[in-house]
Structure 1
Amino acid sequence: MTNLSTLQADYPLQNLNTFGIAARARQFLQVESPVQLRAVFDDPALRATPRLILGGGSNVVLSDQVDALVLQMCLKGRRIVDNNDQRVLVEAAAGENWHEFVLWTLQHGLAGLENLSLIPGTVGAAPIQNIGAYGLEMQDVFDSLTAFDFMTGEMVQLDKAACRFAYRDSIFKHDYKDRMVILAVRFALPKPWQARLAYADVERYLSQRGASDPSPAEISDAIIAIRQAKLPDPAKTGNAGSFFKNPVVSGAKRDSLLEVYPTLVSHVQGTGDYKLAAGWLIDQCGWKGKHLGRAGVYEKQALVLVNRGGASGADVRALASAVQADVLAKFGVVLEVEPVFV
């Protein structure tokens, strides 16, 4: 039982979720070694208990009482695995802070993750959500990962195909949800490096500072500044970042909306479909800066829902549902939630 000596009951989770919801876990274990996961697997009662895998708590909306064994992933470690003419292979443990890992790669002269700067959460959570921003998705640089399988009690290696990545999605949200516990992730950073500057905000920021041929570090600095200007700091205002996925619609649907709303923000996809800006849709429904009970829509970015003080998981769910209903009624477009409701 030594490996489970830190197991705690009725554990407070308010400081472990970025929304700041005052939830409590039925049981809680801080995981600092895969040995602890094996010990949970070997305990019949614990193995039968529902599980919630928790990283930085930045992509979950908790209910007040989480009737589960919460496993907070705290494994640490970063290293360069291989370096050749085609790519640099780097690895980070699941409990590493994502943004700090991105900065670590830049400090070591490694480019490729800079567009994903300042995304909250941990390295282990990145594949689950297939995080993305400013023209880059995690799957674009993903190589493989190591996970613990609660079905077999063994550690396994999964490549990109096995993870079934999609837009803000992966197999870890479906077949492997709370079954596979990610332990470490490896990224293949390509050589030669090419800057990704497709977003107007980034180009504008760099142009204003005379950076015509920006370095990876300069791109990272630009994205950090842009995100800080748009998004609230979870340490000051509880939130889970972008709350809704940007919906993808057919070309015909986009054209019909454009006839009615000439300022519609949309981006063509490789399939010929169009990705719409969810924040723009929400803003047009008048939600920016408004609140419903103790949860609200951020005044600087309608894509972000915030905790106005003392919000519960039910408060956030009610607000999200109201926003979705208004967008559907006005535009005939379904908004999908990014965070997981627990």
Structure 2
Amino acid sequence: MKIVENYSLQPLNTFGFDVSARYFGQAETVEDLRQAIGFAGEKKLLLIPLGGGSNVVLSDHLEALVLAVDLKGRSVVSQQNDQMLVQCRAGENWHEFVLWTLDNEAYGLENLSLIPGNVGAAPIQNIGAYGVEIKDVFHSLEALDIATGELRTFDRDDCQFGYRDSVFKNSLKDRFIITSVTFELSSVLEPKLGYGHLQNAVQKKAAGQSLTAKMISDVVCEIRSQKLPDPAVIGNAGSFFKNPVVPASVVDRLKQEFPDLVCFPFEGEWKLAAGWLIDQAGLKGFTMGQVGTYAKQALVLVNHGEGTPRELVALADHIRSTVLARFGVELEMEPRVY
């Protein structure tokens, strides 16, 4: 594997920030990963695995070895009755993988269409949309132990999935590099249409025809495209903040002052719509230098062209403090800041 110095990461982060790394490598095999771990250890450098660059905020210059995890391959591992085990290596693009599963009549990921990033990052974040999360369709994953260079298999319980959370963001943070993920899908479509606007749009799309997973995927893509900017056009990382989960007492308090509060039940508590909070705080379409919130969706932070990571972090801090002052609710960032 070739490792190069002073490498521009501008095309490798969806914010499009003009940042660079002291060293950069592209790993296409597990042996490449092991070589990179050894190199970083010898140089006493931080090792930063990079997937699609869609859930990170990178500093101006990283004194680190940034490693593009580019392991490729996808296959149907087994099929028994309706159950299908489908494996995908970490470097595959997530949306392209979703479309591949639909082409192979393996259903369950259609609600997660058009989420940016690569497959290897999906379990770390427990990505989710429209009533489906990774944990709902997850079977296992394989990951490389950075300390030992050994491969280890994790099942669903091992991953300790939570809302946009997993063990890889907590006790095992920075200790493993995910190499492949196996999903438990079905050859029989079981539509998940619990979100009213999704159900209405899907019914309109079907228009009396037999419902297909491709129809659901197409509708999800249409909705996301209307709400979220294309990173190729305007730099962004999708939803920047998690929807806060709060007890009922907080919802009761907020509804007294804000009767139109957007919230919904979630595992015995309530989930607030972070985008609504930011919008109501007067920050939708707000700009700070060359960064800002997206005019159509306050939950998305954007780079207007010449923005810097420092400006973006300052904007995020301003949004968090403003929302806290107005609602008494803490916002938590989704992307990782390096």
Q: Please indicate, yes or no, whether the TM-score normalized by the shorter chain is above 0.5.
A: yes
Give distance in 1, aligned partners of 2:126 and 2:241.
Answer: 14
Aligned to 2:75, which of 71, 76, 79?
79
- Report how far residue 46 of structure 1 moved: 3.9
2:231 maps to a residue whose letter is P
Match of 1:269 in 2: 266
Secondary structure at the counterpart of residue 181 of structure 2: strand
- Give matches, 1:158-173, under 5 Å: 158-173=154-169
- Report how far residue 86 of structure 1 moved: 4.6
Give distance in 2, aligned partners of 1:103 and 1:308.
Answer: 30
Q: TM-score, normalised by structure 2?
A: 0.96
Give distance in 1, aligned partners of 2:244 and 2:280.
Answer: 15
Match of 2:150 in 1: 154
TM-superposition CA deviations, 1:57-109 (whole Å, max 9, x none)? 00001110111111101111010001012510000110000000000000111
Structure 1, unmatched stretches of 5+, are none
Match of 1:121 in 2: 117
1:92 maps to a residue whose letter is C
Secondary structure at the counterpart of residue 135 of structure 2: helix
Secondary structure at the counterpart of residue 120 of structure 2: coil
Does residue 225 (structure 1) correspond to residue 222 (structure 2)? The answer is yes
Give distance in 1, aligned partners of 2:219 and 2:234.
Answer: 23
Does residue 214 (structure 1) correspond to residue 174 (structure 2)? The answer is no
- Give matches, 1:31-42, under 5 Å: 31-42=27-38
Contact 1:282 1:327 in 2 (8 A): yes
- Give matches, 1:214-253, under 5 Å: 214-253=211-250
Aligned to 2:64, which of 25, 44, 68?
68
- Report how far residue 111 of structure 1 moved: 0.8
Closer, same or farther in 2 for the Cα pair 1:59/1:44, shift >3 Å?
Answer: closer
Contact 1:29 1:70 in 2 (8 A): yes
Contact 1:57 1:121 in 2 (8 A): yes
Closer, same or farther in 2 for the Cα pair 1:208/1:26, shift >3 Å?
Answer: same
Contact 1:40 1:46 in 2 (8 A): no
Match of 1:13 in 2: 9
Give distance in 2, aligned partners of 1:252 and 1:191.
Answer: 43
Q: Which deviates further from its counterpart, 46-55 or 24-33? A: 46-55
Contact 1:201 1:226 in 2 (8 A): no
Give distance in 1, aligned partners of 2:294 and 2:236.
Answer: 9
Give distance in 2, aligned partners of 1:179 and 1:210.
Answer: 46
Does residue 26 (structure 1) correspond to residue 18 (structure 2)? The answer is no
Structure 2, unmatched stretches of 5+, are none
Does residue 50 (structure 1) correspond to residue 63 (structure 2)? The answer is no
1:128 maps to a residue whose letter is I
Match of 1:305 in 2: 301
Give distance in 2, aligned partners of 1:41 and 1:315.
Answer: 32
- Report how far residue 161 of structure 1 moved: 1.2
TM-superposition CA deviations, 1:298-341 (whole Å, max 9, x none)? 00001000001111111110000100111100100000000001
Secondary structure at the counterpart of residue 119 of structure 2: coil
2:7 maps to a residue whose letter is Y
Aligned to 1:296, which of 283, 292, 311?
292
- Report how far residue 208 of structure 1 moved: 2.9
Contact 2:281 2:322 in 1 (8 A): yes
- Report how far residue 198 of structure 1 moved: 0.9
- Report how far residue 190 of structure 1 moved: 3.7
Match of 1:315 in 2: 311
Give distance in 1, aligned partners of 2:281 and 2:205.
Answer: 35
Secondary structure at the counterpart of residue 69 of structure 1: strand
Q: TM-score, normalised by structure 1?
A: 0.95
2:71 maps to a residue whose letter is L
Contact 2:90 2:121 in 1 (8 A): yes
Q: Which deviates further from its counterpart, 84-93 or 37-46? A: 37-46
TM-superposition CA deviations, 1:31-74 (whole Å, max 9, x none)? 00111122234447447321111000000011101111111011
Match of 2:197 in 1: 201
Identity of aligned residues (%): 50
Match of 1:189 in 2: 185
- Report how far residue 26 of structure 1 moved: 1.1
Q: Which deviates further from its counterpart, 144-153 or 11-20? A: 144-153
Give distance in 2, aligned partners of 1:194 and 1:49.
Answer: 47
1:334 maps to a residue whose letter is E
Contact 1:13 1:22 in 2 (8 A): yes
Aligned to 1:335, which of 322, 331, 336?
331
Contact 1:145 1:157 in 2 (8 A): yes
